[in-house]
């Protein structure tokens, strides 16, 4: 399954640019990685994850720089992350950008190799990148490039330094850790068992310099179109997510009903999911996580309304699921986001899709991973 995991051309172009500044030409880099040239000039081109790992490893060897990932991050621009970069920079706040990222992250890093995870607890935020593949190797320079890119791009979007509490890396330290401490401007701990940025939750309210609601919506639409073009035809996870959205409010989000909606047998759906290294419950949980965030942002919906829209018979069941997923109650999450329910009571009226509209919600949710809330 891992051979299907891929990386957007913009991210690979950033690596090739960094290598060029170190005097390593494109052909030399490809040759050292044991690769033939891949048609990557078109913005929709994808590189296999296995090839990208080999490119990063070759670039470190040829350049002699252990901190190549930091140099990569210094050159990050919106296009490095495909149209997702432009969608992020036009968000209102840093917290909103972090929420938007998982919906479209496959434009940069496809499923199968890694996951992005975000946890907010006791006003401490932790944004991490975790390798989940058992078949492809862990690549320290790739991990460093991504963690450092999040930091650099976040600072650029906000126009301030965004002080970090700590940066953690899974791998052992390089011979010289000073470049890392200078880049992140905080303690950097290697061999920590995870790749994570740790910062104050108050930074989530940091406004972004180029916030523009109209442009942001346009960029999200472009991102949705890019996702459709890149993945929808062959991606069973994408198709299942689309099928589950209208089934959940009717409490019909079952394997059998989803298979019927996809015009296949339950056995065929299970087989297709297995081939994609997915499970039905995992996809369902992922959709519910994404829908919960979207619905909770709507002040017209009570927590009970949201629970019913997600297919829960009781609010308490939804609350347990949400707390396990986000380390917060739904009401607590709303308070942290500054969303106040405008209803007169906690009783749900006839529950239907919120003002956002089912079509828009489908667009939002069609872009998830099926393996977790964040990558």
pLDDT band at residue 4 using 50, 70 and 90 as cut-offs: low
pLDDT at 365: 39
SS3 125: strand
The model scores a pTM over 0.75? no
pLDDT at 314: 92
The number of CA neighbours under 13 Å toward the Cβ of 67 is: 15
Is residue 375's pLDDT more than 80? no
pLDDT band at residue 274 using 50, 70 and 90 as cut-offs: confident
pLDDT band at residue 354 using 50, 70 and 90 as cut-offs: very low
Q: Count CB atoms within 10 A of the CB of residue 125.
A: 22
| Pairing outcome for strands 46-48 and 6-8 | antiparallel
DSSP 8-state code for residue 343 = -
Is residue 357's pLDDT more than 80? no
- Give me the mean pLDDT over the 324-348 stretch: 77
Q: Count CB atoms within 10 A of the CB of residue 188.
A: 21
Report whether 291 contacts 99 (CB < 8 A).
Answer: no
SS3 299: coil
- Give me the mean pLDDT over the 329-340 stretch: 86
**CATH number of the domain at 234-365, out of 3.30.110.40, 3.40.91.10, 3.30.2320.30, 1.10.10.60?**
1.10.10.60
Percent of the chain with pLDDT over 90: 62
Element (H, E) at 150: helix 140-158
d(C-alpha 106, C-alpha 95), whole Å: 19
Q: What is the DSSP string of 52-106?
A: HHHHHHHHHHHHT-TTHHHHHHHT--GGGGTHHHHHHHTSSBHHHHHHHHHHHGG
Q: What is the residue extent of each domain of the chain?
A: 66-205, 234-365
Burial (0-12, 13-18, 19+ Cβ within 10 Å), 224? buried
pLDDT digits (tens, 9 = 90+) for 281-314: 999 998 999 889 888 888 888 999 999 999 999 9
pLDDT band at residue 278 using 50, 70 and 90 as cut-offs: confident
pLDDT digits (tens, 9 = 90+) for 117-158: 898 888 999 999 999 888 899 999 999 999 999 999 999 999
pLDDT digits (tens, 9 = 90+) for 7-65: 999 999 999 999 999 999 999 999 999 987 655 444 457 899 999 999 999 999 999 99
Is residue 370's pLDDT more than 70? no
Report whether 316 contacts 324 (CB < 8 A).
Answer: no
Q: Which of 103-112, 230-239, 270-279, 302-311 has the lowest mean pLDDT?
A: 230-239
pLDDT at 290: 84
pLDDT digits (tens, 9 = 90+) for 207-249: 999 999 999 999 998 998 888 777 765 578 878 888 898 999 9
pLDDT digits (tens, 9 = 90+) for 162-221: 999 999 999 999 999 999 999 999 999 999 999 999 999 999 999 999 999 999 999 998
Tokens at 33, concatenated: 């990685």
């Amino acid at each position: 399954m891992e051979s299907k995991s891929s990386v957007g051309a913009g991210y690979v172009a950033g690596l090739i640019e960094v290598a060029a500044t170190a005097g390593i030409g494109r052909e030399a880099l490809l040759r050292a990685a044991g690769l033939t040239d891949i048609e990557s000039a078109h913005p929709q081109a994808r590189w296999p994850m296995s090839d990208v790992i080999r490119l990063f490893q070759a670039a470190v060897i040829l350049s002699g720089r252990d901190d190549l990932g930091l140099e990569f991050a210094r050159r990050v621009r919106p296009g490095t992350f495909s149209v997702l970069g432009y969608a992020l920079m036009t968000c209102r706040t840093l917290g909103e950008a972090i929420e938007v990222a998982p919906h479209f992250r496959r434009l940069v890093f496809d499923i199968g190799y890694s996951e992005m995870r975000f946890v907010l607890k006791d006003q401490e935020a932790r944004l991490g990148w975790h390798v989940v593949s058992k078949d492809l190797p862990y690549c320290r320079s790739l991990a460093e490039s991504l963690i450092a890119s999040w930091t650099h791009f976040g600072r650029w979007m906000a126009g301030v330094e965004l002080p970090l509490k700590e940066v953690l890396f899974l791998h052992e330290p390089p011979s010289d850790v000073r470049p890392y401490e200078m880049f992140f401007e905080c303690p950097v701990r290697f061999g920590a068992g995870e790749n994570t940025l740790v910062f104050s939750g108050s930074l989530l309210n940091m406004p972004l310099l180029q916030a523009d609601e109209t442009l942001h919506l346009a960029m999200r639409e472009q991102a949705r179109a890019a996702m459709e073009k890149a993945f929808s035809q062959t991606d069973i996870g994408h198709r299942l997510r689309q099928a589950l959205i209208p089934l959940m409010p009717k409490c019909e989000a079952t394997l059998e009903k989803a298979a019927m909606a996809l015009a296949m047998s339950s056995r065929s759906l299970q087989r297709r999911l297995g081939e994609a290294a997915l499970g039905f419950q995992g996809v369902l949980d992922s959709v519910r996580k994404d829908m919960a965030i979207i619905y909770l942002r709507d002040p017209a919906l009570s927590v009970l309304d949201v629970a019913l829209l997600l297919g829960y018979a009781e609010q308490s069941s939804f609350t347990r699921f949400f707390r396990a997923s986000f380390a917060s109650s739904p009401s607590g999450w709303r308070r942290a986001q500054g969303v106040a329910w405008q209803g007169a009571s906690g009783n749900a009226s006839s529950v239907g899709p919120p003002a956002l509209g089912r079509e828009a919600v489908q667009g939002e949710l069609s872009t998830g991973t099926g393996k977790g809330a964040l990558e």
